[in-house]
Amino acid sequence: MKKIALPAILLLALAVAMVGPASSGRAVLGPSLAAAATEETHLLRYPDISQDSVVFSYAGDLWLAPRTGGTARRLTASPGEEVFPKFSPDGKWIAFTGEYDGNQDVYVIPSGGGEPRRLTFHPSADIVLGWTPDSKKVLFRSNRLSDLPDYTRLFEVPVEGGAAEMLSVPRADLTSLSPDGQKIAYLPTSQEFRTWKRYRGGWAPPIGIYDLKNNTYEELPKTEGMDEFPMWHGNSIYFISDRDKTMNLYRYDLGTKKTEKLTNYTEYDIKWPSLGADAIVYENGGLLYTYDLKSGHIAHIAINVASDDIEARPEIVSVEDQIRGWGISPTGVRGVFEARGDIFTLPVEHGSMRNLTSSPGVHELNPAWSPDGKWVAYLSDRSGEFEIYLRPQKGGDEVRVTTDGSVYRFGPVWSPDSKKLLYWDKTYRLWYVDIDQKQPVEVDRGTYDAPSDGAWSPDSKWIAYSKTLDNTSNALFLYSLDTKKVTQVTDGFYNDGNPVFDPEGKYLYFLSDRFYYPSSDHFEERFNYYITTGVFAITLKADTASPFAPQSDEEKEAAAPKPEVKPETKPGEAPKPDAGAAPPAAPPKAPEEKEETPKPPKPVQIDLDGIGGRIVQAPIEPGILGHLDARGGNLFYLSAALESQQMGIPAPQPPANTLHVFDVAKREDKPLLERIDDYQLDKDGGKLMYKSEKTFGITDAVPGKAKVGEGRLETGQLQTLVDPHAEWNEMFEEAWRIERDFYWDPAMGGQDWKKIHDRYAALLPWVAHRSDLNYILGEMISELSTSHTYVGGGEMPEVHHVSVGMLGADYDTDQGFYRFKKIYRGEDWNPQTRAPLAEPGLKIKEGDYLVAVNGVAVRTTAEIYSYFQNLADKFVTLTINDKPSADGAWEINVKPIGNEGQLRYHAWVESRRAYVEKATGGRIGYMHVPDTSIPGVIMFDKYLNAQIGKEGLIVDERFNHGGHVPDFYTEKLQRQLLGFAAPREGKDLPIPQQAVFGPKVMVVNELAGSGGDMFPWFFQHEKIGPIVGVRTWGGLVGYRREIPMMDGGYVTAPEVAFWSPENGGGWIVENHGVDPDYVVAQRPDLVVAGHDPQLEKAVELAMDALKTTKPIPPRPKYPKKN
């Protein structure tokens, strides 16, 4: 168990994936069109324009239409998406980004259509930006050779194929070449996929002009807001900007230095503008428009796409991989599942799968089987809000139980008499409802979170639950249905939770964190607590003995034997069988869940006075315990090994939980089932259902018999009818409700949230691909104008993926051969930074040539990575030579890796550390902190421990992705020297030991955000040292969960924001960022010249601070004691 904690500020996503999870196999049933085929088509995306045509992406494919409008013609058709089409200046070609082999690469086709030709093969995403003016090369952006994956660089690849050449500008995103191809108008980073409108933080750079030939740099004038999509035409640079709240088109005159606004949209943003010879084409509200560069005339292009909309057709889909909620029937003969928005039951052995709901376009979830076997309860948004419904367990008409839904709900949990249901909601309220009366009753309301561990008493007259107190510990409470009163049971000094009644109604069992057994840190004298949780019991009546009272064995006296009485047999009758004899064999029959009327239980009597003083500990070893339950005379609980708390281990770990059964009478604790995620018990505790990764099963709850795989449920049978349009409509509504219910500001930032709903709902009839829905959802939630509003996932078309092996090297070309320009050397002992070419004993060095791969000659007529398709993590024979020739070559065997990002990152960090080491004469240490999650914690401690004894420290948190509230970093950086431990021999040891005590400087940039915003805010607030760089991202709100929608897609709603009581109080950092004390931009001309201006300034400040740092005095003389 854990106390309530600050919500994690989850990772800042710096790029939006273009492809979601692969779908399962489907059977097509019939057509379902988004809108009438004769209507003008909407959601035409990523357009480009030539002299007579426009090309665009619709439903994941490329289409061509006359510039004047009309019927479009399909150019591509594949399961993956084809996006970002660009006409060549000579009109012969269309370059685009496609994913025919499961990766985003550069392709070209003839402008009139034809077979796509692949130009790039690197496993990173290659995004087409345009062409060189002579139409000979395609310009694209990629992070393939970036030191960190957070930014992209520019590349040009010949239209006929071959080696891609990297341009000199160190960071570039959206880019437009000047008419002569010598300069670029560009953004170092961009926000075209960010779901955050009216952004005003540090990640809104000015448009820059960089001279590729002369290495000079200048910037366009910048106002508040985002400037995107620079387009260079003649003596003007066009771009879009939201400086007036909505993205509109602007023009900057390079001669007059003046900026002019050209359009005045107020409802929808301009999206994805693209420059042609005489016009700009763009999307607005799903439709295409052109802006004539000469006249300024705006024209609407009305286009009809006659598409079969294959991705929108109803289909039978396997949902085995989409199971979320699950449970067991009362007698354990069936399991119940929630998958893809439907409720199913599956037999253990005999019988058929049942889809109880089969409701395309309705999201049903959280099934629970009634103890009497008659009903399955669940939540459903059939009405437009989540309400509780019942369905007969064999199928039939559903019964609606609640009608007051207005907020997201959780649960339900049945009462033992099968007459009531317990549930809770986003407003932290706990409820129950009688299924006949249908009038919800509020039980209690939490302050930090909803009471979510409620349990019913055996007579269904009491509810036990835990609630968080002001000290953030949980205490137990009891609610009486008769008196409608709440009683606090435990005082909250310890963290108590997971209450369960014993079936006889004599005890209340629960888990509690009452054991303070510290675990020492290997690197420093600090302690953590893992073994904290124990099992406890409360006697409900004052005169009831403890279930764990001392026992005494006594000899039993034998009872007198009773005379044997045999049944009489009348003449002509066959003898009656003995009472203990087996009945005659009957033909096998599929076991069904029995529907029965239970006998009334004994009333549960509770003496509330002094109840908190009647707590006893169960004789169960404390540990990492969870999910307590009780059946008969047994307690069931999960335990996890201490290793389960180990984070950051590269290899995937199997489920770490072990299910135990504790016999209360015998005081025996036995393992029941190992390597599971969770379990559910049937009504009497004779059967249990378990989940172990993707395996579900029902087995006997008997030690020694239960094992994973036993009683496996055939979840492959779970199938349902999916109507994509119905699903997409439901998920749009659910996403809107999620933001309404979970967003931290109940006023939605002053937005008319219903009006925003209607604005984007108008586009729903035109959704023809799952990515279209994500686009609309992103546009809708971005109206909240806040960080951490993300959208992603969902079932996308399945695309076959072909891996590409990487050698961890940079290449150049010479006489038609590829030459090793740089070989990266990682930490060979570390599997995450294994360098294939740095293995000991390999005969290869920088400057050598790659002649062949597995006997296939390698030449620069094809991109180097094309020779390594499907070779990741496979042994490969390379032919190497020290000259551009096959003569005299030799062979080596290596194992390419699938991603060399960690190698490049490691090399970048070590090069920064080496620079600081050299520039400061070894006096100042350096660390890079990539995030405030597990990888960042590892890097922080690794580099801090290795540099103890340095006189100062530079903390580089550029590109910090965030993760959690990083006060753990600040605490270590704040440590002051308290003294020394002086041994007789050797050096004195500082107290504390894990610290650098001298001056500290932090380096930040615009791509440090979320927890990467809070880290420098803490650093600045606590006056640890100065901050150098540029303003950070400015995304300081947090979300606790990604709420999955019907097909596994999600939107996030920031649930908390942060404020400081200082200076009268105020929200901090969000949509602004942390301002550095020393503003230093990373100018590209200086970086190209070999400088890191921000790090150089940090070194200067650290060395200046050393001049005024008081030296540590020598050890004092030994005291005289005579």
Give the pLDDT of residue 591.
67
pLDDT at 571: 41
Instruction: Indicate if the pLDDT at residue 784 is higher than 80.
Output: yes
Within this chain, do residues 685 and 814 fall inside the same structural domain, yes or no?
A: no
Q: What is the pLDDT of residue 972?
A: 96
What confidence tens digit (pLDDT) does each residue in 696-746 have?
999 999 998 889 999 999 999 999 999 999 999 999 999 999 999 999 999
Strand partners, 1057: 1037
Point out the domain boundary residue: 246, 275, 308: 308
| pLDDT at position 1025 over 60 | yes
pLDDT digits (tens, 9 = 90+) for 96-147: 999 999 999 999 999 999 999 999 999 999 999 999 999 999 999 999 999 9
- Please, what sign has the CA dihedral across residues 781, 785, 786, 787? positive
Same domain for 891 and 842, yes or no, is yes
Q: Is residue 1073 part of a domain?
A: no
DSSP-based three-state secondary structure for 518: strand
Residue 615 — pLDDT band, cuts 50, 70, 90?
very high
Q: Which of 71-75, 528-532, 536-540, 611-615 has the lowest mean pLDDT?
A: 528-532
Across 572-593, b (16+ Cβ under 10 Å) vs e yields eeeeeeeeeeeeeeeeeeebbb
DSSP letter for 944, please: H
Neighbours of 827 (CB within 10 A): 15
Angle between helices 770-781 and 724-742 (to 10 degrees): 20
The secondary structure element, H or E, covering residue 761 is: helix 753-761
Q: Last residue of a domain, which of 273, 308, 343?
A: 308
Domain that holds residue 681: 315-546+599-720
Are 203 and 1034 in contact by the 8 Å Cβ rule? The answer is yes
How far is 919 from 34, CA to CA, in rounded Å? 64
What is the predicted pLDDT for the residue at 23? Answer: 32
- On whether residue 446 sits in a domain, the answer given is yes
What type of residue sits at position 724?
P
Confidence at residue 555, expressed as pLDDT on a 0 to 100 scale:
75
Reported as a pLDDT band with limits 50, 70 and 90, residue 534 is very high
Three-state DSSP state, 1009: coil
Q: Is the separation of the CB atoms in 842 and 890 below 8 Å?
A: no
Q: How far apart are CA 852 and CA 846, in angstroms?
A: 17
pLDDT, residue 281, reads: 99
According to the model, what pLDDT value does residue 595 have? Answer: 75
Q: Assess if residue 136 is contained within a domain.
A: yes
Which pLDDT band holds residue 560 (cuts at 50, 70, 90)? low
Give Cβ neighbours of residue 965 (< 8 Å, ≥ 6 apart): 6, 8, 9, 932, 1011, 1014
pLDDT given at position 830: 83
Q: For residue 802, give Cα distances in angstroms to 121, 601, 858, 876.
A: 10, 62, 20, 16
Provide DSSP, 218-251.
EE----SS-EEEEEEETTEEEEEE-TTSS-EEEE
Residue 876 near residue 893 (C-beta atoms within 8 A): yes
Rounded CA gap, 209 and 174, in Å?
12
Confirm whether 374 is domain-assigned.
yes
Residue 671 phi, psi dihedral angles, 5° rounding: -70, 140
In a domain, 959, yes or no: no
Q: Which of 546, 500, 542, 504 is nearest to 633 (CA)?
A: 504
Lowest mean pLDDT among 462-466, 538-542, 793-797, 1085-1089: 793-797
Q: When comparing pLDDT for 647 and 420, which is higher?
A: 420
**Confidence at residue 28, expressed as pLDDT on a 0 to 100 scale:** 33
Per-residue confidence band for 756, with pLDDT thresholds at 50, 70 and 90: very high
Same domain (yes/no): 709, 842 = no
pLDDT at residue 410 above 70?
Answer: yes
pLDDT band at 370; cut points 50, 70, 90: very high
**Single pTM value for the model:** 0.92
CATH number, domain of 424, equals 2.130.10.10
Q: In terms of domains, do 698 and 832 share one?
A: no
Q: What is the pLDDT of residue 1063?
A: 80
Q: What is the DSSP letter of 22?
A: B
Mean pLDDT of the 260-268 span: 98
Do 270 and 378 lie in one domain? The reply is no
- Whether residues 820 and 703 fall in one domain: no
| Residue 907 counted as domain residue | no
Dist CA 1028 CA 1001 (whole Å):
7
Share of the chain above pLDDT 70, in %: 93
Among 44-48, 412-416, 558-562, the range scoring the smallest mean pLDDT is 558-562
Q: Read off the pLDDT of each residue in 395-421 and give the average, rounded to a whole number.
A: 98
Which pLDDT score is estimated for 38? 58
Q: Is the model's pLDDT at 604 over the cut of 50?
A: yes
- In tens, the pLDDT along 970-980 reads 999 999 999 99
Residue 945: partners with Cβ closer than 8 Å, 6 or more residues away: 523, 994
For the chain, state the CA radius of gyration. Answer: 34
Q: How far is CA 31 from the centre of its chain?
A: 34
Based on the domain organization, do 476 and 331 belong to the same domain? yes
Question: Is there a domain that residue 622 lies in?
Answer: yes
| Least-confidence region, from 38-47, 80-89, 226-235, 264-273 | 38-47
Q: Which residue has the tokens 């549960």?
A: 604
Q: Which two tokens stand for residue 491?
A: 């005082």
In 3-state terms, what secondary structure has residue 1019? Answer: helix
Question: Which CATH number covers residue 200?
Answer: 2.120.10.60
Length of the chain: 1122
684, 508, 505: which is closest to 602 by C-alpha? 505
Question: Final residue of a domain: which of 879, 897, 915?
Answer: 897
Query: Do residues 471 and 488 both lie within one domain?
Result: yes
Strands (E) located in 839-967: 849-853, 856-857, 876-881, 890-894, 924-928, 952-956
pLDDT in tens, 919-969: 999 999 999 999 999 999 999 999 999 999 999 999 999 999 999 999 999
pLDDT of 21 strictly over 70 = no
Q: Give which of 353, 325, 321 is closest to 680, Cα–Cα.
A: 325
Render pLDDT for 198-226 as a digit per residue (tens, 0 to 9): 999 999 999 999 999 999 999 999 999 99
pLDDT tens-digit series, residues 486-520: 999 999 999 999 999 999 999 999 999 999 998 88
Q: At 882, is the pLDDT very low, low, confident or very high (cuts 50, 70, 90)?
A: very high
In a shared domain, residues 818 and 709:
no
Overall number of domains in the chain: 3
- pLDDT of residue 418 exceeding 60: yes
Residues 303 and 352 in one domain: no
pLDDT bracket for residue 15 (50, 70, 90): very low
Give residue 9's pLDDT: 41
pLDDT, position 2: 57
Judge if 346 and 277 occupy the same domain: no
DSSP strand pairing (1059-1060 vs 952-956): unpaired
Calculated CA dihedral for residues 377, 382, 387, 392, nearest 10 degrees: -20
pLDDT at 523: 83
Residues 480 and 522 occupy one common structural domain: yes
Confidence at residue 1064, expressed as pLDDT on a 0 to 100 scale: 83
Does some domain include residue 1047? no
Give residue 589's pLDDT.
59
805 versus 585: which is more confidently predicted?
A: 805
We report the CATH number of the domain holding residue 835 as 2.30.42.10
Mean pLDDT confidence for 400-427: 98
Name the pLDDT band for 13 (thresholds 50, 70, 90).
very low
Average pLDDT, the chain: 93
d(CA 379, CA 385): 9
pLDDT above 90 covers what percent of the chain? 86
Sheet holding 615-617, edge to edge: 495-501, 507-520, 527-539, 615-617
Pick the range with the lowest mean pLDDT from 10-24, 270-284, 889-903. 10-24
pLDDT of 654 reads: 76
